[in-house]
A and B are shown apart, each in its own frame.
Chain A
Amino acid sequence: EAGVTQFPSHSVIEKGQTVTLRCDPISGHDNLYWYRRVMGKEIKFLLHFVKESKQDESGMPNNRFLAERTGGTYSTLKVQPAELEDSGVYFCASSQLPGANNEQFFGPGTRLTVL
């Protein structure tokens, strides 16, 4: 069974440009999550989809970030316009069920560098 995949693995852009990150969850997983790790600090929650609906987007830093999950399959996270502080590793995770005991499976991450 394929795991969570993310594309691209690395992205280097200039401040003010737009970048779109993609996440393909494990097949059959209705729950999809985005997280971000900045500069070796903690991994921070960004948002949670259940199928195509945003269940919790309390971690989204500002309106320059837009997440979508059309059709409830893959998800994209767009940053427009990118700022220097957006640099970091963006992780996507998916789970089959919500709740306390449900394991979230993480992808390898996309390393974003904003120059």
Chain B
Amino acid sequence: DQQVKQNSPSLSVQEGRISILNCDYTNSMFDYFLWYKKYPAEGPTFLISISSIKDKNEDGRFTVFLNKSAKHLSLHIVPSQPGDSAVYFCAAREMTSYDKVIFGPGTSLSVIP
């Protein structure tokens, strides 16, 4: 039973435009959300996170939005660059089990020059 869902397996965006990656979750016990980025033959690397008490967190070109009532979050990348091409994993942690990261299946982003 998948608790973190990323319904778009892939996404293509032109360089300079906005990339929006979406994520939905089912577990109401999640209170901390993360995005990881993964290049081929490498492990996931932490990108940005958001606590459930916030609805937005921004770090440079990356912004994560959280809609807790809809159990939905999104990652915005503006402007998109070719080096952003990677698999992006949405992930979450439960308040009672912080060390266990629950991942979604990932969205493969291609930024076209």
Q: Which residues of A are interface residues toward B (Cβ below 8 A)? A: 4, 9, 31, 33, 35, 40-45, 48, 55-56, 58-59, 91, 93, 95, 98-109
Say what secondary structure dominates the interface of chain A. Answer: loop
Secondary structure of the B side of the interface? strand
Interface stretch, picked from B54-62, B67-75, B103-111, is B103-111
Shortest Cβ distance from A47 into B: residue: B100
Partner of A42, one of B32, B46, B100, B106: B106
Q: Which residues of chain A are near B45, meaning CB under 8 Å?
A: 105-106
Chain A residues closer than 8 Å to B100, beta-carbon distance:
45, 48, 56, 58-59
Whether B99 pairs with A31 at a CB distance below 8 angstroms is yes
Q: Give the residues in chain A near B46, CB-CB below 8 Å.
A: 103-105
**Most central of B44, B102, B103 by chain A CB within 10 Å:** B44
Q: How far is the CB of A61 from chain B (nearest CB, A)?
A: 15
B32 vs chain A, min Cβ distance (A): 5
User: B60 to chain A: closest CB distance in Å?
Assistant: 17
Cβ contacts under 8 Å, A45 to chain B: 100-102
Q: List B residues 3-59 near A (Cβ within 8 Å).
A: 4, 31-32, 36, 41-46, 49, 51
Contact indicator per residue, chain B 84-108, by CB within 8 Å of chain A (1) or not (0): 0000010001000111111111100
Contact present for A104 and B101 (CB under 8 Å): yes
B5 to chain A, nearest CB (A): 9
Contact A108 B99 (CB under 8 A): no
Complex CA gap A95/B98 in Å reads 12
A42-B105, A43-B103, A58-B100 are known; give 4 further A-B pairs, CB within 8 A: A35-B103, A93-B43, A104-B46, A108-B41
Chain A residue numbers with a CB within 8 Å of B4 are 42
Q: Which residues of B contact A48 (CB under 8 A)?
A: 99-100
Q: Please determine whether B105 and A98 come into contact, CB atoms closer than 8 angstroms.
A: no
Complex CA gap A18/B11 in Å reads 39
Residue of B nearest to A100 (CB): B98
The answer on a CB contact under 8 Å between B104 and A109 is no
